[in-house]
Amino acid sequence: MNAITATQAAELLVAAAVGIWEGADIQVSINIAVSERLKSATSKDGGLDLQQVFITDSDMRHIKNRHGSGEDALGQIDITPEDFAMIPIILSEYDELIRGEDDKLGNARFMLTKNLSGTVYLATVQRGKKKLEVRTFYKRKPGAS
């Protein structure tokens, strides 16, 4: 399956998230176009030959269950379905890419951050040598660490 444009991905991500927030039993895997900037950075910082970035319904349910409510206690802001439109922007226009510890299989993990109008969005991605999967997604209040 080919990656789609950022605009198409944003629309699909929001539509899928709305369904998941409403309890729909949907299955999706959305491929998002990989920017040259992200390819270059993950090659340099993680030795990847990045070809694909994607998010699945399982990832979206995890995000809903872990970051969709009660985030205020953590100094964060609840994720809403509309926030998923920000993922393509974060992936291509991130402010910072931080290399994390490798997973149990030795695959690179990265956190990407993007400040949009004072709200900092964070996405973690990991997978294998040619793919990255958006595993979690949350947003911080301005000034929160």
Asked, for residue 15, whether it belongs to a domain, the answer is yes
**Cβ atoms of residues 105 and 31 within 8 Å:** no
Q: Which long-range contacts (CB under 8 A, 24 or more apart) does 37-44 make?
A: 37/92, 38/91, 38/92, 38/94, 38/97, 41/97, 42/97, 42/108, 42/110, 42/132
State the CB neighbour count (10 A cutoff) for residue 105.
8
Asked, for residue 145, whether it belongs to a domain, the answer is no
Total domains present in the chain: 1
Which runs of consecutive H residues, i.e. helices, occur in the chain?
A: 6-21, 36-46, 57-67, 87-93
Distance between CA 18 and CA 22 in Å, rounded?
A: 6
Residues 6 or more apart whose CB falls under 8 angstroms from that of 104 comprise none
Task: Write the Ramachandran bin of 75: left for phi over 0, alpha for psi from -120 to 50, otherwise beta.
Answer: left
pLDDT in tens, 10-37: 999 999 999 999 999 999 999 888 889 9
Asked, for residue 136, whether it belongs to a domain, the answer is yes
Asked, for residue 128, whether it belongs to a domain, the answer is yes
Asked, for residue 1, whether it belongs to a domain, the answer is no
pLDDT in tens, 72-113: 888 889 999 999 999 999 999 999 998 888 878 777 788 899
Structural domain for 113, as ranges: 6-140
Residue type, 122: L
Return the pLDDT at 48.
78
pTM of the predicted structure, to 2 decimals: 0.86
Name the residue with tokens 């206690």. Answer: 73
Return the pLDDT at 144.
62
